Amino acid sequence: MEEKKFDLNTVIGFILIFGIFAWMFYVNQPTPEEIEAQKAKQEQAEAEQKADENKTTDFVKESEAIVANPQDSLALVAAKSQLGAFAYAASLPSAKDNVTTIENEVLSLKINNRGGYIEEALLKNFKTYDSVPLYLIKDGKNASFNLNFGTTDNRILNTKDLFFEPTVTKNGDNTVLSMKLKVSESKFLEYRYELKPNDYMLDFTIRTQGLQQVINSSQDVNLDWKLQVIRQAKSASYENRYTDIHYEYEGGKDDFTGQGEFDEDQEEQVSWIGFKQHFFTSILLTDTPFKTATLASKNVANTSDLDDKDIKVTKEFSASVPLELQGGELSYNMDWYYGPTDYKILSNYDRNLDEIVPLGWGIFGFINRYIFIPFFGFLSGFLPYGIAIVVMTVVVRIVLSPVTYKSYVSQAKMKILKPEIAEITEKYKDNAMKKQQETMALYSKAGASPMSGCLPALMQIPVFYALFNFFPSAFDLRQKSFLWADDLSSYDTIAQLPFEIPFYGDHISLFPILASIAIFIYMMMTTGQTMQTQQPGMPNMKFIMYLSPLMMLVFFNNYASGLSLYYFISNLITIGIMLVIKNVIIDEDKIHAKIQENKKKPKKQGKFQKRMKELMEQAEQQKAKK
């Protein structure tokens, strides 16, 4: 075992270390001045902590007040969260979710202080399909309008979160609402609304004053407008078919987004943007064209569920537009339109807005604009709308009766030539080229042609297609009844099915059934003779005879009953005209005698006919050599 001994060196070492620490503590002891400074710093920290506690207490008291007055909650949030130059706006009495209403005889608008945008747009003179007030914007839930911009102190602000101060004045008979987002009393961003009497269009101005040092001029101000389309019609799928974004760009061109699940377009120099429903539209117009605009449309509801009675919103539209600063300030004169998609109303503004109404392109749109719209407007001015459709149908069929006559005469000639065509077919059954040559020679001598019956029908296609666009777009037919149809702009219902038939629907419409029967009888009369003389290579007319009425029955079951009514009456009248032509006007014996007489006369051939004959003869000779 090791013996323990006293170590003097260790004791001396501990004493020296203790002495060093004592000396360091003495040297680093604070002076009286430093002690006073530290004391002042501690008192300042305690004062700041107490101030924070007071703020917390005030916040709690304000929160308790909110329980009694919930409308101030957003104002409080804005006041606590928004910093920078626009904090001034949050301190004003307008920093709360109050609304200002401006209205005229046809339109009522409510504008919220928060965001300065319209939170409710009511069309006073219209109801939805289920007889409730018609809103394009309701409760601020389906629409938003926002300016997004950077500030010189490196903040990104959104006007939808900030509070505007409203001021209502009168400009003659017009109501003017100024919404100002203030930096100070003399510096602000302003939305100015001016509503005229009995007008769906209101003036809208965006401008800034004194914000050159507030808004970052190196960036564009981004305008974002969004709208979810509220269902207004009985058939959501039918309404959705005519719901899209229309716009004008590059000084007068117009276009629209597609009908897909999602569609996006980008254009330059855009002068107006229309969020169009079937019969109602929200349009933003600008005097200074937007340099670019990105437009997007998407289906909110599943397209297969669109006829579900619980569907409230069908599509969502959005427009993103950069606004350019001029000298550090904004200045855009614009207009808002909240109203019906009515051709007469929209065309009166002389801003090319009538292009929103889908009347068809080219000659089809021309026929609608300058013939059918004025004529139907004249008739509906003194007749019920259903009777006006009937009268217009009668007039159209009478005007087209010469074409019907020409078509039927051609078919009668073909019927008379049938025995001779059969002889040619039998004689040259082994020589298709010769059979075709002899058949064409017979047609030429007799003054008949298979195409002469088709051409009159082709001439009617522009009228057919123009009316196909006219009736679904005729705003005047909306909610107008006739016989069992409650609404000529929508389908009529005589029976509701307990199940849904694919492509047909869950209801039975009578007008499409009547129209299908009428078109079947008409085609029986017109294609019977054609089928008897049908040439190889021509379409199977018997198949078409059955297919056309079936397509009308299925497709038109969910279409506007006004259009089905037109086709039903039109085919009835055409059947009547053809019966008169057949039994009263046309004498087939005389036609036969005339054909035989024509066959005896030498037929002068044109250059084209001679050339075709030579080619056919050459082809026949080459075939014989082989």
Angle 234-235-241 (CA atoms, 0-180°, nearest 5)?
Answer: 135
pLDDT of residue 540: 52
**Torsions phi, psi of 289, nearest 5?**
-55, 140
How many whole angstroms from its chain centre is CA 9? 99
| Amino acid residing at 102 | I
- Average pLDDT of the residues of the chain: 78
Q: What is the dihedral of CA 232, 235, 237, 240, to 10 degrees?
A: -30
Comparing 613 with 375, which gets the higher pLDDT?
Answer: 375
pLDDT digits (tens, 9 = 90+) for 130-163: 888 999 999 888 899 999 998 888 888 899 988 9
Greatest alpha-carbon span in the chain: 158
Confidence at 66, pLDDT banded by 50, 70, 90: very low
Confidence at 235, pLDDT banded by 50, 70, 90: confident
Written as six digits, the tokens of 613 are: 């004959």
How many whole angstroms from its chain centre is CA 7? 101
Exposure b/e, 109-138, CB count within 10 A at least 16 = b: bbbbbbbbbbbbbbbeebeebeeeebbbbb
Confidence at 365, pLDDT banded by 50, 70, 90: confident
Q: Is the pLDDT of residue 50 over 80?
A: no
pLDDT of residue 321: 94
CA distance 561 to 585: 34
Written as six digits, the tokens of 311 are: 């569907």
Q: Is the pLDDT of residue 12 over 80?
A: no
Exposure b/e, 438-456, CB count within 10 A at least 16 = b: bbebbbbbbebebebbeeb
CA distance 266 to 321: 10
* Residues 6+ positions from 52 with CB-CB distance below 8 Å: none
Comparing 355 with 55, which gets the higher pLDDT?
Answer: 355
Written as six digits, the tokens of 352 are: 């090319």
pLDDT of residue 597: 65
pLDDT average, residue stretch 231-241:
83
Angle 475-280-197 (CA atoms, 0-180°, nearest 5)?
Answer: 95
pLDDT of residue 59: 38
Q: Is the pLDDT of residue 348 over 70?
A: yes
pLDDT of residue 551: 81
- As annotated, the residues of the chain forming the CATH 2.70.98.90 domain(s) are 83-358
Among 462, 477, 472, 562, which Cα is nearest to 515's? 562
**CATH topology classification for 83-358:** Beta-galactosidase; Chain A, domain 5 (2.70.98)
Written as six digits, the tokens of 202 are: 């209101």
pLDDT average, residue stretch 350-357:
91
pLDDT of residue 79: 46
CA distance 186 to 194: 22
pLDDT of residue 338: 95
CA distance 277 to 134: 13
pLDDT of residue 197: 94
pLDDT digits (tens, 9 = 90+) for 306-340: 555 667 888 899 999 999 988 888 999 999 999 99
The residue length of the chain stands at 626
Q: What is the dihedral of CA 516, 522, 525, 527, to 10 degrees?
A: -70
Percent of the chain predicted with pLDDT > 70: 71
Written as six digits, the tokens of 237 are: 């799928």
pLDDT digits (tens, 9 = 90+) for 279-307: 999 999 999 999 999 999 988 866 555 55
CA distance 48 to 217: 38
